[in-house]
Structure 1
Amino acid sequence: MIKSWMAIAAVTVLVAVVGNRLNSDDIRWFNRLQRPRWLTFERAIPIIWTVIFICAAWSAVLVWEADPGSLQTWVLMGFYLVLEMVTIAYTPVMCKLHSLMVGTIVGGTGALLGYMLAVSVFPISLWAFGLLVPYLIWSPIGTYTTWAMIKLNPEDK
């Protein structure tokens, strides 16, 4: 029998791999963008997001285990999935459209969805809520960083 953590981990990895498609033009566009001087941690961002996705997936496991298979739990699993899809869409959508404003909107949407999900899981599991806190902190930072880059790259608004 497949454990809930295995299924949730598999879906998390699948969405991340399938949703993160960039071509060389997308990467070139992104790499040429000017960054704020205070953005000294850019190399750590992939590690930070990996930790955040692991925490969010574990949060989903805790919610599932609290009431496996109920309608409310399935709805929340859908919510986790939508949040991951929006979060993963940030880079490819922004890069394909060459638009930092679109990136800011997608990032802000992810932040808002993250807060909504956290409020939804709080009554179910304090630990599941706590595991979403890294997302709740980091997502607005990433969104703000993208917004700050608009001023440095007005042609890529």
Structure 2
Amino acid sequence: MDIWLFFIFLAATFGAAATGALFPTGEWYKSLNKPTWTPPNIVFPIAWTSIYLLISFAGARVAGAEGSAYAMAFWGMQIAFNALWTPVFFGLRNLKGSLPIMAALWVAVFGATVTHFKVDFWAGLAFVPYLAWVSVAAALNLQMVRLNPDQKALELQNL
């Protein structure tokens, strides 16, 4: 594994993670009805830090390997939808609008998991916790929509 590739992939995850800093949860999120099985807030940064390290490792292991084109395409797809979800859910407060993004993210992570396994066992294994976490996140997102049916998204102002 090329350490510089690892740092390049890690930089991409920092870009996605930055949306969390730009759009913090705040009082709005605290006021929402949440399922009883919602993880405590402290779990989220620990989980995401671990996932970002693992998928950076996975990307670095398969980048440049023969047959890695689909793995790299899915890696790029998942980080793009990962970065997009936070501004829609937390920034625009659009619970319903975040569902299609979450669905696309799940498909991308599933695709990345499968294609990374095809190239390198350890890279595929590194995606498994992410697939589990995004499955929980998708269920949580759906339940938030169901438990907050009157929640309105912020309206975008004309620029």
Correspondence 1:54 to 2:22:
no
Greater helix proportion = 1
Question: What number of residue pairs does the alignment pair up?
Answer: 150
TM-score (normalised: structure 1): 0.81
Unaligned 5+ residue runs, structure 2?
A: 153-159
Give the CA deviation at 1:120.
1.5
Correspondence 1:129 to 2:124:
yes
TM-score (normalised: structure 2): 0.80
Do the aligned partners of 1:107 and 1:140 also contact (CA within 8 Å) in 2? no
Correspondence 1:8 to 2:37:
no
Counterparts of 1:115 and 1:16 in 2: how far apart (Å)?
20
Counterparts of 1:15 and 1:101 in 2: how far apart (Å)?
21
Give the CA deviation at 1:35.
1.1
Equivalent of 1:85, from 80, 85, 98? Answer: 80
Map of 1:37 onto structure 2: 36
Secondary structure of 2:150's aligned partner? helix
Counterparts of 1:27 and 1:89 in 2: how far apart (Å)?
18
Do the aligned partners of 2:55 and 2:126 also contact (CA within 8 Å) in 1? yes
Q: Residues 118 and 40 (structure 1 numbering): CA distance in 2 closer, same or farther, change over 3 Å?
A: closer
Equivalent of 2:99, from 90, 100, 104? Answer: 104
RMSD: 2.4
Q: Residues 154 and 40 (structure 1 numbering): CA distance in 2 closer, same or farther, change over 3 Å?
A: same
Give the CA deviation at 1:88.
2.3
Corresponding letter in the other structure for 2:58: S
Unaligned 5+ residue runs, structure 1?
A: none
Do the aligned partners of 2:10 and 2:52 also contact (CA within 8 Å) in 1? no
Question: What per-residue deviation string (whole Å, max 9, x for no partner) do you get for residues 65-87 of structure 1?
Answer: 634xxxx5466434312211211
Question: What per-residue deviation string (whole Å, max 9, x for no partner) do you get for residues 29-53 of structure 1?
Answer: 3232111122243331121111111
